Amino acid sequence: MTVRSAPARFDAVWPPAVTGPRPSVALVVTGGAVEYGWPRDLGPILPVWGAACESAYRESALFSDVVSERGRGAVRVEIELHAEVSQNDVLTFFSYLTLLIIPNVDTTDIAMVTRVTTADGQPLGTVETQGRSRTWYQLLLFPFSSSFEPRRVTPGIVYDLNREAITILHDRGVF
């Protein structure tokens, strides 16, 4: 069962008030992961997280058009996502020793760096945001696991991290 640890649900005014021209934006989403100390790629979750990023930019109403990857826009936004999965080895040992009667927990720290540049590469701003989820493994939690799996919880965290980045950049006057 996966639950959100941070950030709390985003509670600022959404979408932000449009205060100027609405540029088109080209999104580029990349990422990587470290799982239990070993580097790896994000695999099939990266397109899901990329869709959450794109959704946040579309719903912000600050842009005339939002295109992904190789599209052209007046503003280019590069979003770099990093996930680090860790666990407590002692708790894991006792959890598996007791066949998941004692719970085990994996912590996923998500860091997102958003870099905004003009179409010709001039930097406009950079924001870093962070989130966290915890996945609990315990015998009695298995009936709830389909509703609280990482593929359902972490895209919401990524969406809120993008909302936070958009709000910060909007407050700075970048868009």
Structural domain harbouring 143: 2-9+21-171
Does any domain span residue 75? yes
Global confidence as pTM: 0.89
| pLDDT higher than 70, residue 124 | yes
* pLDDT of res. 15: 80
88-105 burial, b for 16+ CB within 10 Å, e for fewer? eeeebeebeeeeeebbbb
Q: Which of 20, 18, 15 is nearest to 60 (CA)?
A: 15
- Local confidence band at 53 (pLDDT 50, 70, 90 cut-offs): very high
* Domains identified in the chain, total number: 1
Does any domain span residue 16? no
Q: Which of 10, 6, 5 is nearest to 164 (CA)?
A: 10
- Local confidence band at 147 (pLDDT 50, 70, 90 cut-offs): low
pLDDT in tens, 78-95: 999 999 999 999 999 999
Q: Contact 95/103 with Cβ under 8 angstroms?
A: yes
Average pLDDT, the chain: 89
Does any domain span residue 31? yes
Does any domain span residue 15? no
pLDDT in tens, 85-122: 999 999 999 999 998 899 999 999 999 999 999 988 89
Q: State the CATH number of the domain containing residue 79.
A: 3.30.160.150
**147 vs 3, which has greater pLDDT?**
3
Q: Contact 104/64 with Cβ under 8 angstroms?
A: no
